[in-house]
């Protein structure tokens, strides 16, 4: 990645979705089982991918567990990479600045356009356990490698999926550690400001 500053949001456009439109984020586990999901807001897209945001009080749920978010969070969902990244605002409730879930390449579907209704989107991906995390103090580490090993057996991950997830993990570690443009705090704050502007 180059050293470009925050995007101006002049990248590709998604027909039908405007900033503030509702988007459902729906992660699944391999085989179709439910994982984390929440109703968030569409922010836009740039050269790095699709962006969504969620204000304080957004409810995230998965089977047997739920939590309510704090601060203004934004998420990056790339169109051509196997991850989804959450950028956390520095509030007392959170230890991490950046949480990157290794996953299948996210997909976006848009509904309501043909019927003349307000558009709504759904962002989906299959979570593949591995997480690359950056603390607010700059420390970077990989989480849930034990879970990844267990689920290779329990869910029967194909060998090419395992290899792709491990390669993405290694690439993400390098990028986060090197301060790649798509993981910089200045970019996250750019999209947080768009979330704030929505009121």
CATH classification of the domain holding 151: 2.40.380.10
Instruction: Give domain status of residue 38, yes or no.
Output: yes
Instruction: Return the structure tokens found at 58.
Output: 């957004």
Instruction: Give domain status of residue 64, yes or no.
Output: yes
Residue 15 pLDDT:
63
Instruction: Give domain status of residue 17, yes or no.
Output: no
Instruction: Give domain status of residue 141, yes or no.
Output: yes
Instruction: Give domain status of residue 159, yes or no.
Output: yes
Q: Look up tokens 């502007």; give the residue.
A: 197
When pLDDT is cut at 50, 70 and 90, the band that residue 10 belongs to is very low
Instruction: Give domain status of residue 75, yes or no.
Output: yes
Indicate whether 3 pLDDT > 60: no
Residue 185 pLDDT:
97
How many residues are recorded in the chain? 199
Instruction: Give domain status of residue 15, yes or no.
Output: no
Instruction: Give domain status of residue 181, yes or no.
Output: yes
**Which residues, 6+ apart, have CB-to-CB distance to 101 below 8 Å?**
27, 83, 84, 85, 86, 125, 127, 128, 130, 131
Instruction: Return the structure tokens found at 112.
Output: 């309501």
- Report the SS3 class of residue 188: helix
Domain extent, residue 127, equals: 22-197
pLDDT tens-digit profile of 13-60? Answer: 566 799 999 999 999 999 999 999 999 999 999 999 999 999 999 999
Domains identified in the chain, total number? 1
**Mean per-residue pLDDT, 165-172:** 98
């Amino acid at each position: 990645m180059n050293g470009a500053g925050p995007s101006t949001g002049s990248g590709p456009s998604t027909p039908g979705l405007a900033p503030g439109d509702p988007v459902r984020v729906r992660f699944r586990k391999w085989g179709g089982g439910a994982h984390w999901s929440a109703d968030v807001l569409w922010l836009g897209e740039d050269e790095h991918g699709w962006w969504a945001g969620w204000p304080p009080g957004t409810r995230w749920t998965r089977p047997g567990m739920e939590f309510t978010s704090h601060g203004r969070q934004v998420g990056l969902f790339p169109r051509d990479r196997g991850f989804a990244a959450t950028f956390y605002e520095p509030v007392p409730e959170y230890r991490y600045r950046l949480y990157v879930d290794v996953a299948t390449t996210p997909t976006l579907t848009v509904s309501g356009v043909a019927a003349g209704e307000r558009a709504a989107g759904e962002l989906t991906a299959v979570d593949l356990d591995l997480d690359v995390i950056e603390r607010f103090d700059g420390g970077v580490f990989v989480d849930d490698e034990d879970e990844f090993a267990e689920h290779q057996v329990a869910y029967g991950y194909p060998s090419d999926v395992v290899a792709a997830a491990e390669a993405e993990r290694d690439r993400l570690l390098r990028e986060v550690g090197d301060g790649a443009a798509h993981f910089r705090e200045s970019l996250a704050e750019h999209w947080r400001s768009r979330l704030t502007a929505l009121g």
